[in-house]
Structure 1
């Protein structure tokens, strides 16, 4: 039984931050490699001319997915409401980009700041959870007003102390209580946190609207010990028909390398990671 999915590549494989100038090199490359979708990692919306992106997508017959980057200044669990407002402004710009490009959702770990991983008292954890719920309900309303959804991504315990598993993110969505709230999963984080990958995917069910993958070490899909059969069985069980994107990172950008702990390349070349990974994923999807 084959998976009926499309394949994407994250711009983080090659650049950080993504800018308008990135389009000329990346879009023809990604299309030429055989990907259906470019997953644009938006670090700073001001650096991106969405009209130029839209035209390049048309020219190269690519679809787009927009994912966010959430550092300390974009933390919906911060004690300072000014930080929440800054995050809302950023998310609003990304949602506008999604609407302009015809992308159905905006994805990422937007409940808190990436790297916010601490031991705190239960009372503080409860306060931060409630802040995330309240503020994400506002984000859902922002998305729904544009005809969009949001896709919330669990992160591993070294990058977040709030949402680590599919069970966590489903509880968060339940507390938010808004139909725009959905799930995206990342195989790298799942390989650390989930006891059973297949069961985690089936638990997400029709709330799963995007999947990112790489190898267990963030390298080329197929080059490590990721339980790919479990991923395929889970996706088959829920009838998943969305995009599976390769997400890894270039270590050439120091700020990004520090955020995701990339100190050296995970493949001989970033182009090779993408092309060899795509070839593997196409065989995997049709097994």
Structure 2
């Protein structure tokens, strides 16, 4: 089993832009192998400006989409769906330019759609998501890319909340480019058994985000990290494990994800403590648990 460790730039900033070369250098200095770039506005990101920094630092890049208002493949408005497909195409352009094998995120619907719907209406949205993502997956496959589809918790989506939901959606899409990712924050809210969910994902799992149940430093909360480690070992996962949380310094971002307090004196400390915990976790045999980082 071989994994690498990354950090999302959302830990420090929003939105990410290609002007933030010093941030990428700082992430590398903290000891990370990879960086996840959330692309809120593709116009702010020039791959040709980022590539030399990635080569200089040795960071492996990954891309995550941001699915706020107006980005919704389940919208009844064809123009909104077309706009969302165009955004996903822009992400694929960046992925190709940066040599990234997939684009990631909860790309089926706008984040924050959490409603009580009649069963026929929910099925309509499900079928629409599958149909639209089949089109997106076809484009991705033609480009040699994949889609890493993320389940998010019930407070952020009423469509795809569990790993089982993700796998059911992948089967409904019916295209080999459609794959799964997991985020331990959402899993601690939605899964009965985190390890079993990872094992169920199996070979479909191509990307992993980690965050504590309270969005704080990994190793300081209630997440069953031993189960997480053992399950990834069992499925022979060999990809990136990316720490994702959010800076409290951007009030709009912090408000959107309900972060009302700091978890560390600085975001660099947050990231470095989380990385130390994850490296310690994966350095030990899977049946041993490292001591959690001090709160």
Q: What CA distance in whole angstroms lies between the structure 2 residues aligned with 1:43 and 1:216?
A: 24
Aligned counterpart, 1:121: 118
2 CA distance for matches of 1:13 and 1:127?
36
- Alignment equivalent of 1:69, drawn from 66, 69, 76: 66
How many residue pairs match? The answer is 284
What is the CA distance between 1:263 and its match in structure 2?
Answer: 2.2
Task: Measure, in 2, the Cα distance between the counterparts of 1:157 and 1:218.
Answer: 16
Distance of 1:146 and 1:96 partners within structure 2: 9
Kindly state the Cα deviation for residue 251 of structure 1 after the two structures are TM-superposed: 1.8
What do the CA deviations read for 1:32-61 (whole angstroms, capped 9, x no partner)? Answer: 111110100100000111101111101111
TM-score under structure 1 normalisation?
Answer: 0.97
User: What CA deviation, in whole Å up to 9, does each residue of 1:57-96 have, x standing for no partner?
Assistant: 0111111000000012000000101001111111101101
| More displaced stretch, 143-152 vs 261-270 | 261-270
Q: 1:40 aligns with which of 37, 42, 62?
A: 37
**Mapped partners of 2:263, 2:82: distance in 1:** 36
Match of 1:97 in 2: 94
CA distance in 2, matches of 1:255, 1:74: 18
Give the secondary-structure state (helix, strand or coil) at the position aligned to 1:244. Answer: strand
> What stretches of structure 2 of length at least 5 have no aligned partner?
285-295
Q: Does 1:270 align with 2:267?
A: yes
Alignment-derived partner of residue 249 in structure 2: 252
2:5 to 4, 7, 10: 7
Task: Quote the offset at 1:266 in angstroms.
Answer: 2.6
Cα deviation code 1:182-227 (max 9, x no counterpart): 0010000001100001100000001000110011111111111210
Superposed counterparts of 1:152-167, under 5 Å:
152-167=149-164
Listed as ranges, the gaps of 5+ residues in structure 1 are none
1:86 aligned residue (67, 83, 87)? 83
- The 2-side partners of 1:245 and 1:107 are apart by 12
Q: Deviations over 1:207-250 (max 9, x none)?
A: 00011001111111111121000000110110000000000001
Q: Matches of 2:46 and 2:218 in 1, distance apart?
A: 31
The 2-side partners of 1:202 and 1:123 are apart by 31
Query: The residue matched to 2:19 in structure 1 has which SS?
Result: helix
Q: How far, CA to CA, are the matches of 2:74 and 2:258 in structure 1?
A: 23
Deviation of 1:264 after TM superposition, in Å, equals 2.4
- Looking at structure 2, the residues matched to 145 and 27 of structure 1 have their Cα atoms a distance apart, in angstroms, of 30
Question: Do structure 1's residue 190 and structure 2's residue 184 form an aligned pair?
Answer: no
Distance 1:16 1:130 in 2: 33
How many angstroms apart in 2 are the aligned matches of 1:271 and 1:262? 17
Work out whether residues 115 and 259 of structure 1, in 8 Å CA contact, stay in contact via their aligned partners in 2: no
Q: Which residue of 1 aligns with 2:288?
A: none
On the 8 A contact 1:8/1:245 being kept in 2, the answer is: yes
Q: State the shift of 1:145 in Å.
A: 1.6
Give the root-mean-square deviation of aligned CA atoms: 0.9
Q: Deviations over 1:145-167 (max 9, x none)?
A: 21000000000000000000011
Give 1:133-148 correspondences, 5 Å limit. Answer: 133-148=130-145
Q: Output the CA distance in 1 between the equivalents of 2:58 and 2:82.
A: 36
Q: Give the C-alpha shift of residue 252 in structure 1.
A: 1.9
